[in-house]
Chains A and B, each alone.
Chain A
Amino acid sequence: MHPHPGNGTIHAMTDPDFRCEALTKVYGSGETAVHALRGIDLELPGGEMTVILGHSGSGKSTLLNILGGLDSATSGRAFFRDHELTALNDSGLTRYRRDHVGFVFQFYNLVPSLTARENVALVTEIAAHPMRPEEALERVGLGPRMDHFPSQLSGGEQQRVAIARAIAKRPEVLLCDEPTGALDSRTGVTVLEALAAINTELGTTTVLITHNADIQRIAHRVLHMADGRIVSTVVNAERQLPSEIDW
């Protein structure tokens, strides 16, 4: 485990949490081949919140999936600290996801037959040093609604359950794929607030992908992707609070 200081300050670029070298990903083959990633070189420092922007088809989800150990690369290498993700087999990736990564998805992906608390318990039961599911839910402001089933929760609430589930195991990194994509602006803000709070309070390295350009203002670092490449990297001198943005 790599404990992080909880003050949210950015470390010097000593040990990047993520590092990619000439990463490519091709789906299919021959004429129908789709080049999702065309050589990504990247370093993401620990403790930062990074926002990856890009239109659909730009390769941002593919990159996130590879960083999260959900997908494999076609060529190139990807590292999480000293683990080479691109060298791990399925059980190695499972181990990596279980021990280090928390995920938040656009469509929440809650198990409909489990209550909020039980959805979080899904993770805490297999994690090494989890927080209590109740604590995780309280952190996202859902303490009073933890025994509700997903169908009894609003979209924003469901996404916050998903965030609670993702952070409950105290992951070193939190990967969010369009976490506000299915939400209206106001609900989206509550979700972003929860994510920002986690990043600040727990020092969790957070990577968030979105096609919503307004969200970039809450990040330490912003990557723009297009056509499978990173076209620009911007480090925000000043971050805004989620409540200050609107879309």
Chain B
Amino acid sequence: MRALDKKLLRDFRRLWAQALAIALVMAAGVMTLLIGIGTYRALSETRTAYYQRYEFADLFARAGRTPNAVLGRVAAIDGVATAEGRIEAAAVLDIPGLSAPATGLVLSIPDAGEPLLNRLLLTQGRLPDPHAGGEVAVSGAFAEAHGFRPGDRIDALMNGARRVLTITGIALSPEFIYSVGAGELMPDDKRFGILWMAYSDVAPLYDMKGAFNSLTVKLTRNADRAAVVDRIDRELKPYGGRGAVGRDQQVSHAFLDAELTQLRGMSWILPPVFLGVAAFLVNITLARLVALEREQIGLLKAIGYRRATIAWHYVQFALLIAVVGTLIGSIAGGMLGRGMAALYQEFFKFPFLYFRDSPDIFAIGALAAGGAAVLGSLQAVSATLRLSPAVAMAAPAPPRFRRSILDAFGILKRLPQGLTMALRNMGRTRVRATLTVVGISLATGLLVAGLFSEDSVDFMIDATYFKTERQQASLGFARPIGASGLESVKRLPGVLSVEPVRTVPVEFRHGTRTRRGALTGKPLDADLSRVVDTDLEPVALPEAGVALSDKLAQLLGVKVGDRLEAEILDGRGVVLDLTVAQLVRQYIGLGAYMEIGALNRLLGEGDNANGANLMFDTLSTDDLYAAVKATPAVAGITLQRETLAMFRKTMAENIGISRGIYILLAGIIVFGVVYNSMRIQLSERARELASLRVLGFTRSEVARILLAEVAILTALAIPIGWLVGYGIALGVTEGMQSELYRIPFRIERPTYALAALIVLGAALLSAIVVRRRVHRLDLIAVLKTRD
């Protein structure tokens, strides 16, 4: 080994603590890159393969009862490769051991067995036999939540008829990678499941013989999607077609997509932050190393080493750090990436997972770390290039201090001496001080951005469940019920109050803009399910006209006072002419609300409701649930409070993990920045500090001088970090807005405080580690060496 290489390795060993602190920051960068890209790739490749193998449909359309003959016409549309009709309906399930009624989404499959599109992957048992009657295959998550096995039975209320269903198989489907019930936020696998039944078994139950109400379509490779959607909509319109939608509005796909977008965002934001901080740490550490070794550099030049050789020697030092960082990051990232992907596989119901240890990602990680190292070493290395050998071997001039603006105002005179020294020193090492502040503020920002989501989610929960949807349960009826029906709901056990709901599928039109959704009628004085204005203040529904969610209004380009058309999508072709009377704030879905009486009059119907919102006495919960399970008119039930509890539980688990990761990552940055910054200060000021000790300063007083600077810089960095975090969080929130849901942007004060506390804690920890070195300061040796 060449002598210069030996020097490199020995320098590296001597500075191992600083090198390791930097390597850890780099490792965090490599790790987040590997996890981000690795998990993103694994998920998106798995999804693509799953979709392909199991023929996930391109278009989905709901309609009323549509004769099977229409299917032939849809299949003949240019651009349609496969079209399949099926029955999609709801059932209320009574499951042994579960007091609350569960909701089943019933889907028909061809009598011959497998559907053509959205094929099923049977993990246990077999598909239902159309001739046996009452046989179902259930979704994997639902089966897992209840421990179902083939042969188990469940009671179901299907369109008012009671059926005992026998489970023959357990299946997964690309359509329900993320399976969430209507109006729910998060999967609740206990209370929501998919039931696949043979067509000829389901059809009579829902009056669908020779007909279908749900269409799935696979497009040809070069299909004109918009044209196909248009033709399908025209074919289905007479039968109450609600309009065909692409995968982007298919709930499972859309949720998965949002998750993937977030993952990709993570691999774009986090690694550059870490690698940038690492580059800065390399910069300050190498700059100090070069300063300390200026005589050695001069000597190497004097004895004839080329400038490039010397420069490369120091670049290699940085690259060694990158090698260590890449190794740690690759091992951690490889393992955590696989773990993350497995967690995702579990959360989203993937039957398999493609996780490849792609060498290219590791290469990208290594390149990124190496790039950061080289970038960080540039300044120090160019200093070695400039150093003239004659100058290098003379002692450096004493550092230049100047009287600053603080001196001019006499401010420094009034400050304690230690603080004066700290302030003067910061003024002299402005670049390093600035970069230290940048590093710490990035960590603070990262924390704010990593911790704020709970604030937003809490805010969203508060707005959704405590300001607007305040009911404990919502019932859906198989067909509209009148006033007497509502009376019988009021008589259910424990029911305290009931509000009727009338929901109709509509297409809103304003100029050339259209949006499909639902128009919901509620009583004028509704107290359970309310609407709130854009300031989240509850407002009464307008007596005339429609209240639109602000997002829908924005999509349609309407404001209060504008008129818009709403065509009822029930096949009758009724078009309502409505005035926008109020804009309301809503975080989930695209709502439109009217006074229920007005809606019914426009529809030409009496006092009809197809849903009801309830408040009930929780002491009677079990009785109520039992009664609901036995009420034929009920087609489905949403239990808002149970949903909320479930949601909170899932969030707590997920947020707990991600919190831990963010705290660890930010801690690594702060520790790395503060530790290196202090070590370098200690190295530069060793003589000064030792002299103070000789003059009679105590160890603690000396340590305090060193700590003062870091304390000031940290205090400066935290508020800047809050702003950085605010910006990142705002960007993240903006990126997550969709038609399905909108995340409100909220950061509460405790989040800022927590971020600051974690940063202070990490800074303090590194200060304690460095303080031990101050205590070991060898007075004689330091004063004797020629600095």
A residues apposed to B, CB below 8 Å: 65, 68, 70-71, 90-91, 94-95, 97-99, 101-103, 105, 107, 109, 111, 113-114, 118-119, 121-123, 125-127, 165-166
Contacts and interface: CB of A to CB of B under 8 A. Distances in A.
Interface residues of B, number: 25
A107 B786 contact: yes
Contacts of A111: 3, 7, 296, 299
A126 B306 CA distance: 10
A125 B2 contact: yes
Contacts of A98: 303-305
Nearest to B389: A70
A114 B6 CA distance: 7
B694 interface: no
Contact of B306 (A94, A101, A107): A94
A70 B4 CA distance: 21
B627 interface: no
A99 B303 CA distance: 9
B609 to A, nearest CB: 85
Interface in B1-60: 2-4, 6-7, 10-11, 14
B295 interface: yes
Given A71-B388, A94-B304, A109 B7 contact: no
A68 B302 contact: yes
Interface string B303-337: 11111000000000000000000000000000000
Residue of B2, B301, B388, B393 most packed against chain A (CB within 10 A): B393
Q: Secondary structure of the B side of the interface? A: helix
A240 to B, nearest CB: 30
Nearest to A115: B6
Contacts of B2: 121, 125
17 contacts: A65-B390, A68-B302, A91-B306, A94-B306, A94-B307, A97-B301, A97-B302, A105-B302, A109-B295, A109-B302, A111-B299, A113-B10, A114-B7, A118-B3, A118-B7, A121-B3, A165-B303
B300 interface: yes
Contacts of B7: 111, 113-114, 118
Contacts of A113: 6-7, 10-11, 14
A55 to B, nearest CB: 17
Contacts of A70: 301-302, 388-390
Interface of B: 2-4, 6-7, 10-11, 14, 295-296, 298-307, 388-390, 393, 786
Given A105-B302, A113-B6, A122-B300, 5 more contacts: A97-B303, A105-B299, A107-B786, A113-B11, A126-B304
Nearest to B4: A122
Contacts of B295: 107, 109
A114 B3 contact: yes
Contacts of B393: 105, 107, 109
A127 B393 CA distance: 22
A102 B298 CA distance: 14
Contact of B3 (A68, A95, A125, A166): A125
B310 to A, nearest CB: 10
A70 B393 CA distance: 10
A34 B390 CA distance: 16
A123 B303 contact: yes
A207 to B, nearest CB: 14
Residue of A90, A111, A165 most packed against chain B (CB within 10 A): A111
Nearest to A98: B304
Residue of B2, B295, B389 most packed against chain A (CB within 10 A): B389
A90 B307 contact: yes
A109 B299 contact: yes
Contacts of A166: 303
Contacts of A95: 304
Contacts of B306: 91, 94
Nearest to B385: A90
Contacts of B786: 107
B400 to A, nearest CB: 15
A65 B393 CA distance: 11
B577 to A, nearest CB: 85
Contacts of B300: 122
Residue of B14, B295, B299, B304 most packed against chain A (CB within 10 A): B304
Nearest to B293: A111
Contacts of B298: 109
Residue of B298, B303, B305 most packed against chain A (CB within 10 A): B303
Contacts of A102: 303
Given A99-B304, A109-B296, A71 B3 contact: no
A118 B6 contact: yes
Q: Give 8 nearest A-B pairs by CB, closest first.
A: A98-B304, A113-B10, A71-B390, A121-B3, A70-B390, A65-B390, A109-B299, A97-B304
Contacts of A121: 2-3
Residue of B6, B11, B302, B306 most packed against chain A (CB within 10 A): B302
Contacts of A165: 303
A101 B301 CA distance: 12
A94 B14 contact: no
A102 B6 CA distance: 22
Nearest to B11: A113
Contacts of A105: 299, 302, 393
A136 B23 CA distance: 40
A126 B389 contact: no
Nearest to A122: B3
A125 to B, nearest CB: 6
A103 B390 contact: no
